[in-house]
Structure 1
Amino acid sequence: MSQELRLIRRITLKLIPFLILLYLIAYVDRSAVGFAKLHMGADVGIGDAAYGLGAGLFFIGYFLFEIPSNLMLDRFGARRWFARIMLTWGAITIGMAFVQGPQSFYVMRFLLGAAEAGFFPGVLYYITQWYPVRHRGKILGLFILSQPIAMMITGPVSGGLLGMDGILGLHGWQWLFIVIGTPALLLTWPVLRFLPDGPKQVKWMSEDEKNWLTAELSKDLQAYGQTRHGNPLHALKDKRVLLLALFYLPVTLSIYGLGLWLPTLIKQFGGSDLVTGFVSAVPYIFGIIGLLIIPRSSDRLNDRYGHLAVLYVLGAIGLFLSAWLSVPVLQMAALSLAAFALFSCTAVFWTLPGRFFAGASAAAGIALINSVGNLGGYIGPFVIGALKEYTGNLASGLYFLSGVMVFGLLLTGVVYRVLERKHVLPTDQFAASARGATRT
């Protein structure tokens, strides 16, 4: 193994497992509401449309506070800022146990989004400070493993906690919020104690290794024409940022639209809350498989857009079939295909912004891309809830998500032509395939 790979492996072992744990907790906190909805709606008077609106308001809070949060991260450092985020989101998640109706549900979901804002894009920005571009696909795939792992954990744990109904006078859904919010509070101190702000602060890298990493990141700056705006907020007006934000929207809309309604869909198959929890974990196993395979393939072939195009097609097919089919086993197979595509798509997509921006501009740009994309987290659950209330079933919402993925496929070609015209690499398989098709 080369010295480069040994260093990359050491960085990965030191940072990525801890970051996976932190984001896993965040994802459980935001996603458990899908299971709480199975009972809290009847207890506090929240219907399908109100749930869809409240579930989505998380992302409005995230959208409004994400860019300021990422700029604060660049100013105060990852260690302190991530600890602040965890402390507030843990407290608010516990507070969700005491909502009294739709209005308080709306307020708490909005506050949870505002509290957590900046964590995911903050980690993405943090990774750009540790890894050269050529290694980021695999690393992002590993980090984003926390999403499907969290959903796998959320199902069985939520199903079990819902069974605590009546203990100490609390409903099962109240215990769910209390239990899942506590780990974020407990991990605040370890974040402050163990997470380094950047490569310069660590003792487990030699000066030669730090200098090599700095040089490699500088090479990326030149090779990809990365931009460092004098005022990082100028990145928010950059057409590349805006186009990438639009490109990311179909992915988040589909992931959250599906994820927040999946327990309701699985519940229609029949079975207890615990069975629903375990069955809901199945698609996310395939999401994990995708994240272990597709980003590595993307790195190896230096091909982002070709992989994204294929993943959008698979996602559209999986979502369409999950609505069209009526046999539960076949529906689960279709949902598993959709999860495979959606989570893989997320990892491959996030290799793109770091190719064009560096420094505080990257922090601002990544935050805007993720915040606009997270509007899909508002649109998806809300539209599916409205369609379900209007049609009486979830199939119409799944057809809507399938159409969204087709839109993402069309955007793939547009983004490639606009962003890569000046930076096409010789090994870009998307371009090679296009040239081959033209010759044919």
Structure 2
Amino acid sequence: MKLEIGNFHVRDVVFGARTAFIDGILSINKEEALALICEDEHITAADIIIARPGESKRIVPVKEAIEPRCKLDGSPLFPGVTSSDLVSCEGGVTHALKNCSVLAVGKHWGSFGDGVIDMSGEGANLTYYSGLINICLVADTDELFEQREQQKKNHAIRWAAHKLAEYLGEAVRALTPESVETFELPPLSRRDAGVMQLPGVVYVMQIQSQMEELGYNDLLYGWDANRTLPTFMHPNEILNGAVIGGSFMPCSSKWSTYDMQNCPMIKELYGQHGKTINFLGVIMSNLNVALEQKQRAALFVAQMARSLGADSAVLAEEGYGNPDADFIACFNALEDAGVKTVGITNECTGRDGRSQPLVALSAKANAIVSCGNVSQLLELPPMDEVIGELASIGRDGLSGGWEGDEKLGPSVRPDGSIIIENNSMFCGDQVIGWSRKTMLDF
């Protein structure tokens, strides 16, 4: 199947009398957009605020990011989520508003999986999203049962953001895109002889699925990933809305829906297909709690890779800590199956950088790309404006924030500056492929 993504490059976002895209400017009818969002009875307050690169703005607590898009065949942007209709995401024509994202932001309450985005200053270098024009949906809900819980599903706000992204995408439905990206992989049995002679490479994505209660995990066609086994997927499905991000995961380790829609590793593997590799596709795996579950998933992944004829694999985990055991189990199983594997992950080496980087290690995992230390301390200056609520960093159990520390004091200081762990930077480590971080020798 062939997927065509028509790109419209957004130069600015403004509010206006109607929602439209003209000469690079996305205009939003705010009243109309908010009316759509507030159709959900659980949304009790909502606003839309624009944050542009370089502005002195801090956004927190950020829960999710989505690229505004529409599908020209009229099918839902996220089947099983923005509509109950279940249709394949493998092919077709999709129009996308580039250089911008819709952010789901709490008006007050944050959670363990929420994070921070600084649009300027030192913090802007620590997350991909500081370089986008962010359309911030700042909302509150009546989900009082989880308001003071550290873990939150954030269902109403996250779903409202997906709905807003779909609404904004309609602005370019009838327009001619500035550029078109084409993604097409023939079936494995129908590839030409030249491609078949190249090394077969599979991409293994270990998405977040640790929470056994439904509603916290990443979703596949609206289905909770905790209820899945590893499965073979066409890479186009990931790029075209089959997978959305969940609410559970220390924030720098998360993969947002925007990340899935634009997955840099998938695009890089596509770019090398037929040149240096035979890109076989994606094995979508999961992250589990029990050891038996981890071992079972690793066996499934290795069997699929071997059956597909993979010579090598790129293995990426969404998370750290407990998921490291899944990562290493999968690494071992792939290597034992004769599939040479390169792993991509972040590390948790403590604030001083001296601890063991992963919970589990193996001599077979001898090719790992590190995307940084989640525990690295960051001190960031105040911003002129906060979108959301700054107090949530310390009050609500954000994975890199705290109310008080004997040596460091509170995460949020009286002057508006903050001290946090890298854990709190929204999708900051970008194991999925955006990472700008490099290693230094001392």
One fold, TM greater than 0.5?
no
- Structure with bigger strand share is 2
> Normalising by the residue count of structure 2, what TM-score does the alignment of the two structures yield?
0.24
**Structure with bigger RCO (C-alpha 8 Å, 6+ apart):** 1
> Normalising by the residue count of structure 1, what TM-score does the alignment of the two structures yield?
0.24
- Structure with bigger helix share is 1
